[in-house]
Amino acid sequence: MAATASAADPGTAFKLLLSCPAGLPRSRVSVKFGQSFDRIPHPDAALEESISEIWNQRLQWNPSLYNGTKFRYGGHAVHYKDDSKEEYCVLLHLGLTDYRTFVGTNLNPLWENFLVPSEDDSVRCQHMSNPLGNGAIVETSDQKIIVLQRSHNVGEFPGYYVFPGGHSETSQKKSALWAIKLMKKTWLLSLNEFHKRCLMESSVKWLRKLEFLLVP
């Protein structure tokens, strides 16, 4: 189910960790949330300190940036629904991270130094922030595909055109209901993004594809 996309620039290469071409109903996607899936600090103190240095530089360039907690992708597991092995289910492993750490690791010019030599992606990226994002490709009733232009006042890819989506926001209130609602909240985030941008539900014909976009 995993595949690697090669590119002329190694920095733009990516790995498709899981492919579900036919899509998955919500009943076949679940979440395991815990501190064991949080980021592990890097043993190199200087490299770890660069997170604060990069963040402070970004704040000087763009004072409107602010930190906020995000759900961290810590891996996934695939298992079959029953003994027939006809339908598989996906279990997402999620922890917590924040935007500051994302900027200081994933967007750090020295980001490759945070990686651990391993074929296991969750081990390889254990020192990275890797916030979980999601996005959707939407076709309108007049057969147009919706794209959004990012603000020029953001910390990542300012001015770029993207599909609707974003990062799931966490809550400061930690309760049992928080974990229960996490899967539903993650699953429906893209639809919420459409509503935030004042799209009429009647203008959206169907979601052609809904997938989790994993930050490398």
Q: Euclidean distance between the first and final Cα of the chain, in Å?
A: 17
Amino acid 183: pLDDT: 52
186 burial via Cβ count (<10 Å: 0-12, 13-18, 19+): buried
CA–CA separation, 129 and 144 (whole Å) = 35
Q: Is residue 133 part of a domain?
A: yes
pLDDT of residue 51: 98
By the 8 A CB rule, do 214 and 73 touch? yes
- Per-residue pLDDT 10s for the chain (216 aa) are 555 555 555 556 677 888 888 888 888 888 999 999 999 999 999 999 999 999 999 999 999 999 999 999 999 999 887 777 778 899 999 999 999 999 999 999 999 999 999 999 999 999 999 999 888 888 888 888 989 898 888 888 889 998 888 877 776 445 444 544 555 555 454 455 444 444 444 444 434 333 343 333
- Taking the C-alpha atoms of residue 181 and residue 171, their distance in angstroms, rounded to an integer, is 11
Structural domain range at position 91: 24-214
Would you say residue 10 lies in a domain? no
Residue 7 lies in a domain: no
In a domain, 53, yes or no: yes
Sheet holding 132-140, edge to edge: 165-167, 132-140, 204-214
Q: What is the pLDDT of residue 166?
A: 80
pLDDT at 125: 96
**In this structure, is residue 100 part of a structural domain?**
yes
* Residue 55 belongs to some domain of the structure: yes
For the chain, the domain total comes to: 1
Residue 140 lies in a domain: yes
Can you give the pLDDT at residue 165?
82
| pTM, rounded to two decimals | 0.75
- What token pair was written down for 7? 């590119």
pLDDT of residue 214: 36
Query: Looking at residue 81, what is its pLDDT?
Result: 79
Residue 156 falls inside a structural domain: yes
Quote the CA–CA distance of 69 and 170 in Å, as a whole number.
6
